[in-house]
């Protein structure tokens, strides 16, 4: 199982690596559900860690419906973080009706190549998740981070399992939100999981697995 740890600083990313994380999703302002990290922090993290670092591209808090100016800024950030040497991009765009903006998301996916692309938890807001997952597969998204449209992934397992069955190995379904060492066994069917694991990582000598 690959454990991706969400980190909002270089220091926490380093602690996560030492605790056994397999990959980092770097952001800032987790209290706002994560925003695009600062360039300086990203560069230091990418250069210092020996595990892959994915970068969250989310220019502001709130919904995932972006103006043309915001979208251009997102694309510019992807180019900059690719130049820094990150190994993946985490992002996504919605329409005003909370369906996935496939044209814009596809543009982000193609701009991110050859890096991996994760569609983030904007997926929690879509009204027809079982239909939308097929669209993400069609445009080549590598994985979807989801809590099954519940606050905690443990409560969204029914939808997560449905998505995993539909995916049929065409896209990675990565459960995230509220996953801890104590409930990890509920996610054994999944090859990748996501979490901040703060209580675990901040424990001296703790190993994630």
Q: Identify the CA nearest to 87 among candidates 111, 107, 113.
A: 113
Please give the pLDDT value at position 206. 62
How far is 85 from 46, CA to CA, in rounded Å?
A: 7
Domain 2-201 has CATH 3.40.1000.10: no
The phi and psi torsions of 83 (rounded to 5 degrees) equal -65, -30
How would you write the pLDDT of the chain (209 residues) with one tens digit per residue?
A: 999 999 999 999 999 999 999 999 999 998 888 899 999 999 999 999 999 999 999 999 989 999 999 999 999 999 999 999 999 999 999 999 999 999 999 999 999 999 999 999 899 999 999 999 999 999 999 999 999 999 999 999 999 999 999 999 999 999 999 998 889 899 999 999 999 998 888 776 667 76
Domain ranges across the chain: 2-201
How far is 205 from 209, CA to CA, in rounded Å?
A: 12
Q: Identify the CA nearest to 151 among candidates 181, 126, 121.
A: 121
């Amino acid at each position: 199982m690959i454990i991706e740890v969400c980190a909002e600083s270089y220091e926490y990313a380093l602690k996560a690596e030492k605790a056994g994380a397999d990959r980092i999703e770097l952001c800032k302002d987790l209290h706002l559900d994560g925003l695009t990290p600062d360039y300086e922090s990203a560069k230091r993290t990418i250069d210092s860690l020996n595990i892959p670092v994915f970068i969250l591209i989310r220019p502001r808090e709130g919904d995932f419906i972006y103006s043309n100016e915001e979208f251009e800024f997102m694309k510019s950030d992807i180019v900059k973080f690719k130049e820094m040497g990150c190994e993946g991009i985490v992002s996504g765009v919605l329409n005003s009706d909370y369906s996935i903006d496939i044209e814009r998301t596809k543009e982000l996916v193609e701009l991110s190549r050859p890096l991996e692309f994760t569609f983030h938890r904007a997926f929690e807001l879509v009204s027809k998740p079982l239909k939308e997952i097929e669209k993400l597969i069609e445009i080549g998204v590598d994985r979807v981070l989801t809590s099954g449209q519940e606050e905690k992934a443990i409560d969204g397992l029914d939808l997560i399992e449905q998505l995993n069955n539909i995916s049929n190995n065409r896209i990675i379904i990565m459960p995230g939100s509220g996953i801890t060492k104590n409930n990890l066994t509920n996610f054994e069917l999944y090859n990748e999981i996501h979490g901040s694991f703060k209580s675990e990582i901040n424990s001296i000598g703790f190993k994630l697995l």
